[in-house]
Structure 1
């Protein structure tokens, strides 16, 4: 038999069931309903539902068949007019579970009025905390222990048959022989070793991409706003599910799931609820950073950020869940920012407040992501499929209490345990020091030209005074004075054109650090060095030159001079163009001029100074 596609809707007086049965004979179908049971048969389709409310046969029931669409539409009156049937979109839970063919089951799930009242009392007193007992070393058993994991810790021995794919699914080694406490210790040690302060600080200071993804609004944000506005206007809470709409693909997923019951004790229920929070946090992070799009890393992000999926962790408190998620966000994914932790936290609260329909929609999306990723599909068998079936039967009060407890939980950077606040403070101090040093360097560069000009003026005044007080003859004094004037003009020209490009003899650009030009006070000497143009050094100037010139920071004019001097060093006596004879008979001046910088050099003719 084939289970057909179906949908259920309601109004205050009627329940409407739409069943899609293409290629069925409209003349051969059978419908049976009584109380909470509904059965439909049209070869080869068969549908049996357990309704959340009672219906009655009083003559108002109607049925019609659309031949174009191949759908049966059946309207059934409610036994109590105005009664609201909850969970009509939980299609898997409506499918009647398969009955056992044995005479009597070994474990029977009883559903009596007394047990229902007891269950309601447990829901009201649900505090989301679990009693913790000190760890005690137990004696080693002769047989190897099999530790449980998976949904409600109901599985064991699964990874013994999947050793080859173990490392691609979870991080823990040998989970069947690793107890829960040891899993937690190993997980914390792995996170501490993986944390990278440089990566964290890089995302902390350069957060343009992160701020961009934080602006993305997933579908539950608008739905939550509509639900909040609706509650404020009508003061009704039972219509929350109407804001969450399942697609046809999601409905098909629900129909393919097998309905079954789960016998969980109190401790196991705590683990299941806390694991649900952990999985939803990882899913919200994935949706935010990829802005709702799926990629090849989606399955990795979800399972890596959830310690429940990656380390088979069993949490004992909501705070432990949130801290674990925060640590893993700052250790493993591409974007490691505390703002993403806060965003995922707020999104999870919204999803839980929307009710189990929104939670189920997220779980179905996770199920699809894992189903399309190899070998992440194993996590569907261990966790997600059971969560999809179990959440449909969960009481709305449980999820409301869970969302309220999660909302009251606080998470700060100090809870993470990586000294994040200290790292940020130290990084801010370093950044401020670098900014101050950079500002100081800029100020010194701006003051440099004025200081050089002042030095030049002082040197000029000192040279003038020394030339006036010198007791030499008038010819020497005139020569020295003209010489000083030309050299000072040379210094001013070089200082004004310090930023001009260097031009070599062939018109090519020269490097800025290839030559030095120094004149000392004690020994009037010129030192001209060039790494690009080799040649002799001009070592002596006339003794009457008393001016100290230091042009180590002005290589522009010197590069041109070095090139020209290379061509003129052998022709100093031949008086070529640019060489002028001194009328005093004391020596010859070589006047070298270029477009960029003029340069005046003196060649002595005294025999004792050659």
Structure 2
């Protein structure tokens, strides 16, 4: 079945769904409405949408097909007149499966005997069976009867049973097998090489840290620190996503088509996994902000390499969090300064070790971009992820990171991310104070040496000019 292009709008009493399905017979259309779930089938098209509130097929509902334009317009009545249906422009959220209804709470106490119920002859049989119990079982029964306090201990958690050497990775650790032939591909950003499928999370992190230290170049950093004229231009460049009025935001036709092709998945993540996804989102947005700022929103053939290299979840399969468990917030949707700082520390290290422009000030500008993007909500964040997906999808090797991370991130952001949490995260990023000592590469000392060298060169140039003037003949009277 083909998922058709569609759009949704609403009035005070109705929701209007416009579906593009050219060259079909209107008599074959099948429409079904089940509370919040709407589906339409007209061969070869099938569309199923899950709305935030219930709809009805009332007297005011209708379905009209215009063969000249190829559009089927379905008007459905709101169960509650005047109720606002939010996120009608988030097509991926409408296409997401309907979440299961909460299971009914099961009773935690089972009544084995009611004192008011007369005893039956089964008591004698039970007594006889009790006599056959082992000594240990009798002690337990006696303890229960006399309310004794038997010694208890919590059993140790057994490690998960492993039947293969392969490790899972990617979004919510749901992917594997994408790097089985990594040694035969020209994937320059894969820091795990042939061990990508078998490295544990701890091994991936150690290899990432080692690779960052190996790629760190003091002279490169000092040169960019001294000769920073073009970097200052990149820092002063106005980000169009942050300068355009928020009320004018609207997805393009190309973006809507891409959202229709995203996977239809339901993500059942734990609170800890959801928390980690928000932190990993910071690293993806930082890489995007760096690529966008250094190319001034005009991607180049190197853009896919830049995005993949700067995102540790891509190049080393090492997503957040990067701090210690005791530093993390115990409140759902809240983020401590330590865990946000540790996340950006990783991004800063990579921005200073790998790409063309290596500047701490440029990294600070990218962090400010991330805070601004998050403050605009999930619609703009999803647009940024769609742009990342478009860049990766057009690369013959790095498209793999779109498959294992960005596709799912797009759907999750549109259907599950919270604007309230993104706003709190934006505040945490904006108020964060990053210091050069966090990077652990003696940046302040290197900058001091670079300034001294630049000053010596200036003094040497002045002395050379004075010497040349002394060697010149005196002017004629």
TM-score of the aligned structures, taking structure 1 as reference length: 0.61
Aligned to 2:371: 349
Asked if 1 retains the 8 angstrom alpha-carbon contact of 2:23 and 2:67, the reply is: no
Q: Classify 1:46/1:183 alpha carbon distance in 2 versus 1 (closer, same or farther; 3 Å).
A: closer
Aligned to 1:585: none
**2:35 aligns to what SS in structure 1?**
strand
Aligned to 2:428: 405
Instruction: Please identify the structure whose Cα radius of gyration is greater.
Output: 1
Give the superposition deviation at 1:307.
0.9
Looking at structure 2, the residues matched to 191 and 421 of structure 1 have their Cα atoms a distance apart, in angstroms, of 19
Aligned to 2:400: 378
Looking at structure 1, the residues matched to 308 and 378 of structure 2 have their Cα atoms a distance apart, in angstroms, of 22
Is 1:422 matched up with 2:427?
no
Asked if 2 retains the 8 angstrom alpha-carbon contact of 1:26 and 1:65, the reply is: yes
C-alpha RMSD of the superposition: 2.9
Give the superposition deviation at 1:309.
0.7
Asked if 2 retains the 8 angstrom alpha-carbon contact of 1:204 and 1:337, the reply is: yes
- For structure 1, the 5+ residue unaligned runs are 99-108, 116-137, 228-241, 450-493, 498-610
Q: Classify 1:323/1:495 alpha carbon distance in 2 versus 1 (closer, same or farther; 3 Å).
A: closer
1:153 to 159, 173, 180: 173
Looking at structure 2, the residues matched to 320 and 199 of structure 1 have their Cα atoms a distance apart, in angstroms, of 24
Aligned to 1:254: 259
RCO comparison, higher one (Cα < 8 Å, 6+): 2
Give the superposition deviation at 1:447.
5.8
Superposed CA offset, 1:162-206 (max 9, x none): 442274351123133322233222222222221222221222222
Superposed CA offset, 1:31-67 (max 9, x none): 3334212222333322221112222344333443333
Aligned to 1:475: none
Is 1:111 matched up with 2:101?
yes
TM-score of the aligned structures, taking structure 2 as reference length: 0.77
Asked if 2 retains the 8 angstrom alpha-carbon contact of 1:150 and 1:382, the reply is: yes
**How many correspondences in the alignment?**
405
Which structure 2 residues correspond to residues 100-249 of structure 1 after superposition, within 5 A?
Answer: 110-112=100-102, 145-165=165-185, 167-173=187-193, 174-223=195-244, 226-227=245-246, 243-249=248-254
Deviating above 4 A after TM superposition, structure 1's stretches of 4 or more consecutive aligned residues are 141-145, 443-449, 494-497
Looking at structure 2, the residues matched to 267 and 331 of structure 1 have their Cα atoms a distance apart, in angstroms, of 30
Q: Classify 1:49/1:274 alpha carbon distance in 2 versus 1 (closer, same or farther; 3 Å).
A: same
- For structure 2, the 5+ residue unaligned runs are 106-157, 322-338
**1:52 aligns to what SS in structure 2?**
coil
Give the superposition deviation at 1:293.
1.2
**2:353 aligns to what SS in structure 1?**
coil
Q: Classify 1:281/1:71 alpha carbon distance in 2 versus 1 (closer, same or farther; 3 Å).
A: same
Aligned to 2:29: 29
Asked if 2 retains the 8 angstrom alpha-carbon contact of 1:21 and 1:45, the reply is: yes
Superposed CA offset, 1:316-374 (max 9, x none): 23222211111111111111112221121111112212211112111112112111111
**2:54 aligns to what SS in structure 1?**
strand
Asked if 2 retains the 8 angstrom alpha-carbon contact of 1:144 and 1:177, the reply is: no
